[in-house]
Amino acid sequence: MTVTNLRWMALIISFLVLILGGLIGLDLGGFLPVYACPYVGQTRGGVCFLFRLQFILGVGSWEAFKALGEHLLYFSILVVLIGRAWCGWICPFGFLQDVLDLIRRKLHIGYIRFPERLRANLRCIKWIFFFIALLIPLWVAYPLLAPSVAGDLRQPFCQLCPGKYILPLIIGNPDSVAVDFKSATTITMTILGLTFSTIAIIGALLKRRFWCPYCPMGLLLSWYKKISFIKLKKDCQKCTMCEVCYNVCPVEIQQVFKERENEDVTFTDCTLCLRCVEYCPEDGALRATFLGKTIYKSTSKGFFSRQHIIPGVTDDQVIR
Ligand code: SF4
Ligand code: SF4
């Protein structure tokens, strides 16, 4: 079985467990480092870390801050175990984006790639979302100014998150995309959330993993990359700078083929999907390691066995 097929299998199982697992009584807790969105309702099999983080910060009591330590600890253990592989292999919203990408290919819709400079400039978006998730709940807890506005801003990132609108919708809950008319604040937040959701869906139909580089959860996960057990490594002596790894990378990381010195090539946006390892044509040029042991490496044999699906190795329209 190829890594791509294995990843699809993991994504499908994770989606079923995290979004529908509640139907069979599953509950994996409230500290999951993926968009396990509680707004899907009773069918949820676990809850996203950011949801409970905002709730705890918004309560603002001493007991709540003590719960924060425990919340962070469980989250950190999960992230150290497999790093951003949570994004590439488990996240339900990542799965949804991969499905939209599949539809794009079936419909022969062209693939767009942002220039590196634009990508760098857009990186601030995840920081904005991150501070919304962190700072507004503290204001909700201590609303010295505009308390009525603060009262309508509970779980502020959730109100903007495409997962809150799209994931319940695809399991048959159309209420998730209704505008909340409770106040001017809730109307504004819902409209912003629906706008981001529309951009995320259209974006995913034009670009692989469109949302991932702007995701605040991905930002949090990337902070653990130095201590995570899983790493992406490169043997710079074996690399021929063919750029295949860049062409197949869903989040368009160029540094993997450009790196000429360091062995560790687990870069900030990397979702550890391992497509670069799967498609790299040089024996052992790329490998994935777990606690320092190689668990998967590139082989010329593997590359040639997949050539029938990559007729032009530098053509990003055909390499998937
Ligand atoms: S695909 Fe492999 S050989 Fe080609 S640039 Fe990337 S790491 Fe180097
Ligand atoms: S660098 Fe490799 S493992 Fe990381 S996201 Fe790109 S293709 Fe996947």
pLDDT in tens, 171-212: 988 888 888 888 888 899 999 999 999 999 999 999 999 999
Which ligand has the minimum distance to the alpha carbon of residue 285? 1
| Model confidence, pTM | 0.89
Number of domains making up the chain: 2
At residue 179, φ and ψ (nearest 5 deg) are: -70, 135
| Residue 179 CB less than 6 A away from ligand 1 | no
Residue nearest to atom 2 of ligand 2 (CA): 276
Question: Would 317 be classed as within a structural domain?
Answer: no
In this structure, the residue with its CA closest to atom 1 of ligand 2 is 270
Do 172 and 304 lie in a common domain?
A: no
Would you say residue 320 lies in a domain? no
User: Shortest CA distance to 149 belongs to which of 123, 119, 188?
Assistant: 188
Residues 135 and 208 in one domain: yes
Can you give the residue range of the structural domain that contains 95?
3-220
pLDDT (tens digit per residue) in 149-178: 777 788 889 999 999 999 999 998 888 888
* CA separation, residue 7 to residues 4, 73, 89, 277 (Å): 5, 27, 6, 13
Residues 247-264, mean pLDDT to the nearest whole number: 92
Distance 182 CA to ligand 2 centre (A): 43
Asked whether residue 213 falls in the same domain as residue 76, the answer is yes
147 and 191 belong to one structural domain: yes
- Atom 3 (ligand 1) nearest CA: 239
**Whether pLDDT at 309 is above 70:** no
From the CB of 275, is ligand 2 less than 6 Å away? Answer: yes
pLDDT digits (tens, 9 = 90+) for 110-136: 788 888 889 889 989 999 989 888 888
* 211, 260: one domain: no
Binding site membership of 249 for ligand 2 (Cβ less than 6 Å): yes
Whether residue 85 sits in one domain with residue 212: yes
**236 CA from centroid of ligand 1 (Å):** 9
